[in-house]
């Protein structure tokens, strides 16, 4: 609405504004905290999956060695361990998929809030606001981010 009024009727190319939406800023902080938590979980899961992959390779080699020397009971034990580890790996993968879905959704919501804040400005102030918000997120500076959204301060 603001962009339409400013652009079409007033022919103003650049317009900055000040806005105060505390609930939106609180939602933004909640989503950013969620993103941080999900990213740390993602890293932990990736490390666990890598560890399990190494263990799976070892068990396959041990099971094959047991088969070659005729230790069928030992081979069965290794394959049972391998099956259990494989099931753990599948479970971790499902958790990782859900984590990824949640992460993407949180990032989309952060982007929506930034775009809404940008829609209150027109022209160069809009693009500066969006870039400043993204920089503040990368620096993990939530206070600066809320000030940028509210005041358009860079």
For residue 29, being part of any structural domain is answered with: yes
Residue 8 CA: distances (Å) to CA of 3, 16, 25, 121, 132: 8, 16, 30, 14, 27
Residue 90 falls within a domain, yes or no?
A: yes
State percent of the chain over pLDDT 90: 47
**Quick check: is 65 in a domain?**
yes
> Over the stretch 67-96, which tens digit does the pLDDT of each residue have?
999 999 999 999 999 999 999 999 999 999
Token pair in block for residue 107? 């990032």
Best mean pLDDT range from 30-34, 82-86, 138-142, 150-154:
82-86
Please tell me the chain's helix, strand, coil percentages from 3-state DSSP, rounded to the nearest 5: 80, 0, 15
| Residue 108 predicted with pLDDT over 90 | yes
Does residue 146 contact residue 29 with C-beta atoms inside 8 Å?
A: yes
Residue 40 forms part of a structural domain: yes
**Whole-number Cα distances in Å, 26 to 21, 31, 145:** 9, 9, 11
Cα-Cα-Cα-Cα dihedral of 90, 95, 97, 99, to 10°? Answer: -160
| Domain carrying residue 90 | 22-149
13 part of a folded domain: no
**Is 26's pLDDT higher than 90?**
no
Residue 63 lies in a domain: yes
Least confident of 73-87, 93-107, 119-133: 119-133
Task: Count up the domains in the chain and report the number.
Answer: 1
Let me know if residue 17 belongs to a domain. no
pLDDT tens figures, 132-141? 888 888 887 8
Residues near 83 by beta carbon (within 8 Å), at least 6 away in sequence: none
Is 66 within a domain?
Answer: yes
In 3-state terms, what secondary structure has residue 122? strand
Which pLDDT score, from 0 to 100, does residue 16 have? 62
């Amino acid at each position: 609405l603001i962009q339409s009024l400013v652009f079409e009727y007033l022919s103003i190319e650049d317009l900055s504004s000040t806005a105060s939406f505390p609930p939106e800023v609180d939602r933004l902080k909640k989503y950013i905290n969620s993103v941080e938590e999900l990213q740390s979980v993602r890293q932990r899961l990736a490390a666990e999956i890598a560890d399990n992959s190494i263990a799976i390779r070892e068990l396959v080699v041990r099971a094959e060695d047991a088969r070659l020397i005729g230790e069928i009971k030992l081979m069965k034990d290794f394959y049972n361990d391998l099956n259990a580890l494989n099931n753990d790996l599948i479970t971790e993968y499902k958790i990782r998929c859900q984590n990824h879905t949640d992460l993407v959704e949180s990032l989309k919501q952060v982007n929506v809030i930034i775009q809404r804040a940008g829609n209150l400005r027109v022209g160069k102030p809009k693009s500066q606001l969006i870039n400043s918000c993204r920089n503040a997120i990368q620096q993990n500076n939530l206070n600066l981010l809320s000030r940028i959204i509210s005041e358009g301060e860079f």
